[in-house]
Amino acid sequence: MKSAIPSRNVLKRMKPYSPGKPIWEVQRELGLDRVVKLASNENPLGPSPKAVEAIRELLSDIHRYPDAQAVDLRATIAAKYELLSEQIIVTNGGDELITLVSEAFIETGDEIIVPGPSFSEYEFGGQLMGAVIRTVSLTEDYQYNVPAILEAVSERTKLLYLCSPNNPTGTILSQSALTEFLNSLPPNVLVILDSAYSHFVTEDDYSDGIEFVKAGYPVIVLQTFSKVYGLAGIRVGFGVASPSIIRAILQVKEPFNVNALAQAAAAAAIVDDDHVRKSSLLVKEERLRLYQGFEELGLSYTSSMSNFILVELYENAEQHYVELMRKGVIVRYGAAWGLPQHVRISIGTPEENNILLQALRMILK
């Protein structure tokens, strides 16, 4: 029976998030034993071993509620980045931070600026709160079009998103360009700088944004434990901003948004320098090897500062995406970003990347 109770009108306009297909689903649907998932930018080396140990030690305590203020984790993050605990909010993944910021700051009719193609959650949060979304396209080579973004700013602009490195293109806004940009913005605009992939950047002229928070700019930096730290399955991320911005976001946060195991795991992972170093080194080395593989196959790609690469597969991109899946390699098809001739490929272990290149070789022959 159809419900007679109408849900909010805005829900009709909202596109559901389309995640990368999970390994088990492809195994089941296609009857494959070995499936390689290069679709969600996870850490192919797995979680920080110190985080796994921290979870194990806490298992017999999970009848207790988690710390609503995540005091220990915030102190650990604060020490790591030389911040005050009051400048940090811990959230159920970086995704929750985006929703909370939207809830805390957007009044109906406020404008938000979202460069595109980029991470879909920015629009999601804006639409949920009745914002007017101003999309500003990246340039043809997927750089931020700073003049066009400044042009889109109005008196009603409340939030402005910048993802650097950007998902799905892997391109960054340089530190020098970011500095100039922030100095050009009027004071009514709150910038969310999403640096979820900061650990994979090799360019010197780059900032994860935290220095701008320290310098007093109206900036919220988003970080996550899902990527380099390898904790995507347990859902934890954090935001860094001035204490007054953090206080506003805390007002809309559920008390127990981050579970106890996630808090313990994250506190262990963020000081596991060995795991971070190994993981980012793997990405940096394999990135260059994949470039070479793509070049040998005659494929063009966008140089990436992240743990994924946007690859052009031309008119048959969707078909090739399906063929890759049939061979047990899951990548992300670009149509959701308006890039129907592209796929986004996460960087895996050397063995996984070889499987990918071999599959591409067979498909493109």
Ligand X SMILES: *Cc1c(COP(=O)(O)O)cnc(C)c1O
224 is a contact residue toward ligand X (CB under 6 A): yes
C-alpha to C-alpha distance for 100 and 85, rounded to whole angstroms: 18
Residues 14-43 contacting ligand X, CB under 6 A: 41
93 is a contact residue toward ligand X (CB under 6 A): yes
Distance in Å, CB of 164 to ligand X, minimum: 9
Q: Which of 26, 37, 77, 95 binds ligand X (CB under 6 A)?
A: 95
Q: Which one, 48 or 226, has the nearer CB to ligand X?
A: 226
Distance in Å, CB of 95 to ligand X, minimum: 3
Distance in Å, CB of 40 to ligand X, minimum: 8
- Please state the φ and ψ torsions of residue 133, each to the nearest 5 degrees: -95, 120
In this chain, which stretch among 51-59, 211-219, 220-228, 321-329 interacts with ligand X, using CB under 6 A?
220-228
263 is a contact residue toward ligand X (CB under 6 A): no
One-letter identity of residue 134 = R
44 is a contact residue toward ligand X (CB under 6 A): no
228 is a contact residue toward ligand X (CB under 6 A): no
Residues 179-218 contacting ligand X, CB under 6 A: 194, 196
Q: Which one, 196 or 360, has the nearer CB to ligand X?
A: 196
Q: Under a CB-based contact definition with an 8 Å cutoff, are residues 194 and 119 in contact?
A: yes
Distance in Å, CB of 1 to ligand X, minimum: 35
Distance in Å, CB of 280 to ligand X, minimum: 16
232 is a contact residue toward ligand X (CB under 6 A): yes
**b or e along 145-160 (b: 16 or more beta carbons within 10 Å of the residue's beta carbon)?**
ebeebeebbeeebbbb
Considering Cα of 171, then 172, then 174, then 180, what sign does the dihedral take? positive
Distance in Å, CB of 195 to ligand X, minimum: 9
119 is a contact residue toward ligand X (CB under 6 A): yes
C-alpha to C-alpha distance for 242 and 219, rounded to whole angstroms: 8
246 is a contact residue toward ligand X (CB under 6 A): no
Distance in Å, CB of 230 to ligand X, minimum: 11
Q: Which one, 14 or 30, has the nearer CB to ligand X?
A: 14
Q: Under a CB-based contact definition with an 8 Å cutoff, are residues 350 and 281 in contact?
A: no
How many residues touch ligand X under the rule CB under 6 A: the total is: 15
Locate the DSSP E strands across 173-266.
Answer: 190-194, 219-224, 237-240
Contacts of the segment 273-280: beta carbons below 8 A, 24+ positions apart: 275/45, 275/48, 275/49, 275/50, 275/229, 275/230, 276/48, 276/199, 276/228, 276/229, 278/45, 279/43, 279/45, 279/199, 279/228, 279/230, 280/199, 280/200, 280/228
Contact footprint for ligand X (CB under 6 A): 41, 93-95, 119, 163, 167, 194, 196, 222, 224, 226-227, 232, 237
